[in-house]
Structures are given as structure tokens and as C-alpha cells.
Structure 1
Amino acid sequence: MDPRKSIFDAVRAVKGDISPGDVLILDEALDRVDVPRATSAPRRVGTKGIALMHKWEGCAKRRPDGRFEAYPDPGSKDGRPWTIGWGSTGPDIGRGTIWTKAECDARFERDLVRYANEVSGFLADAPTTQDQFDALVAFHYNTGAIGKSTLGKLHKAGNYAGAAAEFGKWIYNDGKPLEGLKKRRADEAELYRSAS
């Protein structure tokens, strides 16, 4: 039994639906007061998935002083979302945000746990290899769309060939296909199809 379930149920009763970000905040708070987690270990992204995300996110916009500055999304009309480090975005990131490499790495680690938990929650008990999981987290890290995508739904249904074909449809930003997204999705699909 999950010792945190009653706490989450109580929060939902007061607040209504809670977002994945709220779940992460609650989990971190419960960790600090030593409320145990469920006995089944959460899935973690493997080295192939991390390498894939590092390849495509880069740790860009290094300043002469060695720190990193936020930059606008190069493919969107309005520059949103602002990004820093290993593809980190959010309300705390915008023009003028500057981080050290250690801050970039720490945020990536936190984001990675959050996105892995979101993908795990979506997949539930659907059979998934480590490489498939890594590819799905990499996709979700970039799109935030695992739960609403046909790709995710096909994977959960066990249609792995159909799911793999869906990666190539996620290549648009503001209605335009981007060469970088085509290559990224090809890499994700290749990892998804691999054997481990």
C-alpha cells in the first residue's frame, strides 16, 4: 500500500485535480518529513535516454564568465518558452536568467525525475523496455505531450510499430517543420525501436 495515497487524496478533495508539478512538490515535502514512498520503485531514465536528451538539449548560451544565460525558443514566433541549461523551461526562466553549470545540471536532474514520473504514471503497467521508456521520456521532456499523444496511446495499447511511426509527426513548431526536430524525433524513434 502507498502510505502517501491518503495525503494525496485529501489534497485532491480540497483542491480538485492536481498537476504533475503539484505531485512533485508534495512528494518533495513528504520526503523532507520522512513519509515513506510506495514500495515499488519508480522507473528511472537510463544512460541512453540521458545521452539522447543531452545531445538534443545541449547546455547552450555559455557566457564568457562560464555561466549560462536563458534564450528564447528559436523556433517559435514569440520566443516562448525561454530556455536555459539542458532544455529547462518554466515560470522561473526568462530574459536575464543566468545559471552556473551546477545549477543547470541540478535542474536537469530534478526535471528528469519529474518527467520520468509523469511517463511512468501515464504508462501504468503497460509493458515497456528500458529503451522504450527512455525514448518516451525524451519525447515528453521536449513536448510535454505523452498523455495526449497518439504515440503514447499506441504504446500503451501494445502497438509498438504504430507508436514508433508517431515520433516523426512531432516535428512542428508554430506550424513549421523544423529540421532539428526531424532529426531529434528520428533519434528518439531509433532508441524506442532498439532491443533492450
Structure 2
Amino acid sequence: MPDASNPPKADNSKLRMSSAGKARLRKTEDPKYYYYDDGGRPGRGNCTWGAGTLAHKGPCSDAELKTKVGPAEVEAAFASRIADAERVVHRKVSHQALSQEQFDALVSFVYNAGVSGADNALWLVDHGDFKGAASAISRTIYMTVRTKKGRKKVVAHGLIGRRAEESAPFRAPSQ
């Protein structure tokens, strides 16, 4: 009888984000060759550059907003962040075998939400709760922005469709 406290290992280590997954990620991240405030209007959100690369939390400075970034730098950061997200998925999902589509979706989710933002969904996937993981992914649509009174969480409308796409492989019946 299998031990529920120590589920068998699954080997996802050979999975890498597919070309199609990278193309979808590039489309959703829409590379920019300059620094910008991710979150709408300038002075809100977080200082970001390239293909969704976080420079730091909080808005960009005036000097940062004038900074240009070259295509080679954007591509290098994009590839590095994909590799980082792949390593996170490999490390956090070790008890459930993933399809290529599921792996691509999780790498995209980790790329955008970060390890801490994706941790709950990764745990749910690793423990076989795909329905719960799909729900957790779909709910990760908020961002914190600065206001005159401090900070508040707001819906990032651009994430709604992305999260639907990332959660879809976990809503489909197992094959």
C-alpha cells in the first residue's frame, strides 16, 4: 500500500519550456526596450524593463524612465528568467508527472508571479489537486499599487486572460 505521507517521485527534470510556450510567454510579456512602471500610469506599480523583468518594487525614478535597454540584454534576461522558472517548477513539482502543456503553463506562471506568488499553486499541483491549482492560478490577478494614502491591491485586468490560459491545462481531464 502506498504511503500517502511520502508519495512517489515523478521525473519532470527533462522538461523544458517548449518553443510554443516561449512564443506565448513573449506575446504576453510584450518586450519593451526601456524602463516603465508596470501597473498602468507612471508613478504606480513596479519599475520593470524588457520582457517583464522587475527592476525593483515601486515606481521607476525619472532617470530610470529615460533608460533604454538593448535587444541582446532583453533576450538574455528573458532566457535567464525562463531557466530560473523551469528550475523552480522542477524543484517544487516532484511528485506529479506533468504534461508539456502543464509544464509550460507553470513556467509562465512562475515567470510572472514569482516563486512566492506561485508557491501555493505549485504545492497543489505537486499534491495532485489540479482543480485547486487551477483555481489558485486564476485568483492570482492582483497587484499592489501606490496611492496617495499608501498602497492598495487592485485587479490587474491584463492578467485575467493570461491566468485563464495558464490554469487551463489543470482544468482539463487527465489523459
Q: TM-score, normalised by structure 2?
A: 0.72
Query: 1:29-108 counterparts in 2 under 5 A?
Result: 42-60=14-32, 68-75=33-40, 79-90=44-55, 95=64, 96-108=66-78
Q: Distance in 2 between matches of 1:111 and 1:148?
A: 15
Offset at residue 43 of structure 1 (A): 3.2
Instruction: Give the structure with the higher percent strand.
Output: 2
Q: Distance in 1 between matches of 2:169 and 2:49?
A: 25
SS of the aligned residue for 1:45 comes to coil
Q: Distance in 1 between matches of 2:167 and 2:89?
A: 16
Percent of aligned pairs sharing the same letter: 29
Matched residue, 1:152: 122
SS of the aligned residue for 1:82 comes to strand
Q: What amino acid is the match of 1:51?
A: A
Offset at residue 193 of structure 1 (A): 4.4
Structure 2 gap ranges (5+): 1-11, 145-152
- Aligned: 1:161 with 2:126: no
Shifted more, 138-147 versus 154-163: the winner is 138-147
Offset at residue 51 of structure 1 (A): 2.1
- How many residue pairs match? The answer is 148
**Inter-CA distance 76–168: structure 2 relative to 1 (3 Å threshold):** farther
Offset at residue 147 of structure 1 (A): 7.6
Encode CA deviations 1:43-78: one digit per residue, 9 max, x unaligned: 311123212211211013xxxxxxx11111225996
Are the counterparts in 1 of residues 31 and 52 from structure 2 also a CA contact under 8 Å? yes
Offset at residue 98 of structure 1 (A): 1.9
Relative contact order, higher structure (CA 8 A, sep 6+)? 2
Q: Distance in 2 between matches of 1:57 and 1:167?
A: 17
RMSD value, Cα: 2.7
SS of the aligned residue for 1:108 comes to helix
Structure 1 gap ranges (5+): 1-39, 61-67
Are the counterparts in 1 of residues 141 and 155 from structure 2 also a CA contact under 8 Å? yes
Are the counterparts in 1 of residues 124 and 132 from structure 2 also a CA contact under 8 Å? yes
Q: Distance in 1 between matches of 2:42 and 2:52?
A: 18
Q: TM-score, normalised by structure 1?
A: 0.65
Matched residue, 2:106: 136
Q: Distance in 1 between matches of 2:169 and 2:162?
A: 11
